[in-house]
Amino acid sequence: MQEFLLKVEGTIHTLSTPCVMGILNITPDSFYKESRIALPAEAAKRAEEMLINGAKIIDIGGYSSRPGAAPVTLEQEWDRLKEVIPAVRSVVNKYAGTFISIDTFRASVAEKAIDAGAHIVNDISGGNLDDRMYEVVAKLKCPYILMHMQGDPANMQKNPSYTHVTQDIVKFFSERLPKLHDMGIHDTIVDVGFGFGKTVEHNYQLLRELHAFQLLGRPILSGISRKSMIYNVLRNTAENSLNGTTALHMAALLQGSNILRVHDVKEAMETITLFTQLMPEGINHLLQPWER
């Protein structure tokens, strides 16, 4: 696996093996009900459980981005987060080399969250829903997760279409990353956005071709956990799709994913352990010479 460096709060951290981002939804309506948290103490407890099980990043969000989710005002989003982030930070501080990411597409929420103790901005819109986001991230000097989404959460699943889904999204990142670099945003992570403006067929094509995004030279985050691309194929529910999630997590790792964003940290960490046993030298020998 390629080694990446991320600068967080002035310290350089190495990302040399796949790691897990645990999902902490401070929302009443996220698609997987078991991931919903409300109280700061409950959030801190859940975060500590994830850290004990091996999570490196705790991803906190106050706005459900499931298809058709009801809009949330900026004030509502921040009210959900403002006490949770410091509570989780007090737990994260006990575990060296672990971080909090704030899952938001709003620049003002991102800024407040970093000030409150978050380390990383995770923007599902890739800067498309708030034209101040890049400027704010550049000022904050924090890592930035750049995700691809076609449309917005309200309309993204209404007939998404691409000329060639992988090529189109590689082009998106190839255009955005230099722009971010020129603004001083160097610590970037890319996320193809499984389920965000993609059909089931698009999602599986992206997963089969995920290794193509290694050409961007940035860590790849995969958010597959319990999504409809799994339970629609298996004809079950989010609650019954852990086995399918684990299967696709291994596929993502074999295709070069560096970070798994998950609801179930223990099972994802076990998948990574087996992956590293299976592929101790990473996946480079699977690639064609021009892809290395």
What's the mean pLDDT in 190-215?
Answer: 96
Single out the catalytic residue among 94, 227, 266, 292: 227
Structure tokens at 31: 């698609």
User: Is domain 15-284 given the CATH code 3.40.50.1400 in the classification?
Assistant: no
The pLDDT tens digits for 226-258 are 999 999 999 999 999 999 999 999 999 999 999
Q: What is the C-alpha to C-alpha distance for residues 56 and 219, in angstroms, rounded to an integer?
A: 14
How many CA atoms does the CB half-sphere of 122 hold within 13 Å? 28
Could you tell me the pLDDT band of residue 65, with boundaries at 50, 70 and 90? confident
Beta-carbon contacts of 42 under 8 Å, excluding residues fewer than 6 positions away, are none
Is 160:208 a contact under the CB 8 Å cutoff? no
* 36 tagged catalytic: no
Higher pLDDT, 130 or 1: 130
* 261 tagged catalytic: yes
Cα-flanking dihedrals φ and ψ of residue 4, to 5°?
-120, 150
pTM, two decimals, is: 0.92
In this prediction, residue 34 carries a pLDDT of: 61
Single out the catalytic residue among 106, 176, 198, 261: 261
Q: For the chain, which residues make up each domain, given as ranges?
A: 15-284
